[in-house]
A = this chain, B = another copy of it.
Amino acid sequence: MSPGLTLTPLPGIPAVSPGDDLAALHLAAAERAGVTLSNGALVVCQKIFSKAEGRLVDLTTVDPSPEALALAEDFKAFEKDARQIEVVLRETKRIVRKGHGVLICETHHGFVCANAGVDLSNAPADDVAVLLPEDPDDSCRRLREALLARGAKAPLAIVMTDTFGRPWREGLVDISIGSAGIAPIEDLRGSPDMRGRELVVTTPATTDALAAAAGLLMKKDSAIPSVWVEGLQIQGDGGLPDLLRDASLDLFR
């Protein structure tokens, strides 16, 4: 039989603070879980990168702009905090849609998601908003290099995840918002299908599938920020530019 995939949660990673050493925390967690960080993918929730990098905003220091105050007024029925909206606007390149108390924003990175990824849940304190990392691919590269320097072995993929909604469908799935040591998209265009017919548009979004898979073990209340995935052939390299659709090809701007 062909081998399958194994996903191992890495428990015991404590609440992370600015400056914490994510590589050390993951090496210790892997040892506790009985896995070796080699020939696999380490899938890590965005929030611990953001906290380690100090991507936190104390809302008591935020002075909402007139635009943020106007949006808070629009969304009055949903009791939105104008200071939080102000932080969302600072992370936003373009508001894609607004309605039902939600701003769907394109972030400076190019992600399209609710509230530009700004989140208050699992924040380190009340009145603290957690922002997405500034350069998630770079955050992943730095963690990967630190792990490889301290005993982890290539092939080693790092995938950073966040939980996004989707148009047309209820519920949330984890997707990849950064990666290192793996091609986000596996390009099968031109390879044959089972009957030898050319597959025209088969380009699996591998890091997004890894994110969704790991998300099954990363419930928000379970203190599992990281999952180790074994059994996948780790191939290629790349980052967000491979995953974000060019505006000229996008039917949903």
Q: How many copies does the complex hold?
A: 2
Cβ distance A162 to chain B, nearest Cβ, rounded Å? 13
| Bound-complex Cα distance A168 to B197 (A) | 28
Q: Judge if A24 is at the interface, Cβ distance under 8 Å.
A: no
**Cβ 8 A contact of A99, one of B102, B112, B243, B251:** B251
Instruction: List chain B residues, Cβ under 8 A from A112.
Output: 167-168
| Bound-complex Cα distance A45 to B172 (A) | 21
| Bound-complex Cα distance A213 to B120 (A) | 28
Q: Mark A168-198, 1 if CB is under 8 A from B, else 0.
A: 1111111100000000110010011111010
Which listed segment binds B: A63-71, A84-92, A218-226? A218-226
* Residues of A in contact, count (CB < 8 Å): 78
Q: Judge if A18 is at the interface, Cβ distance under 8 Å.
A: no
Pull 18 A–B residue pairs with CB atoms less than 8 Å apart, ordered by A.
Answer: A1-B11, A1-B34, A4-B217, A5-B216, A7-B231, A121-B199, A167-B167, A168-B244, A169-B205, A170-B185, A171-B185, A172-B201, A172-B204, A188-B219, A192-B221, A202-B220, A204-B215, A206-B216
10 new A-B pairs (CB below 8 Å) besides A169-B205, A173-B204?
A4-B227, A5-B216, A97-B251, A104-B251, A169-B175, A173-B212, A174-B209, A193-B220, A209-B212, A212-B213
